[in-house]
Structure 1
Amino acid sequence: MSLSQEELLRSQILQTAQQLYERHGIKKVTMDDVAKAVGKTRSALYYYFKNRDELFEAVMFSLVEEVKNEMEGVINKEKGLEAKIHAFCFAKIKGFKKTRNFIAAIESGLDKDELSKYSAIMWNVHQHMMQAETALLKKEIEHAVASREIPEPDTDALETLLFVLLSSIRGIRRESAIEGYKNLWQNGVVMLARSAARELGL
Structure 2
Amino acid sequence: MTHFLYISDVFCPWCYGFAPVMHRLAAEHPEWPVRVLCGSLVEEPTTLQTMAAKSPTLRAFFERLAATTGQAVGEPFLRRLEPGEEDAPLFSPEMATVLAAVNKLKPGCALETMEAFQTAFYRDGINVLYPPVQPGVAGVDPDALTHVLHDPAIMAEAERESEEALELLGDFVVYPTLWLVDGEDRLLLSRGYSRYEAVASRL
**TM-score with structure 1 setting the length:** 0.27
Instruction: Answer 1 or 2: which has greater strand percent.
Output: 2
Q: Which has the larger radius of gyration?
A: 1
TM-score (norm 2): 0.27
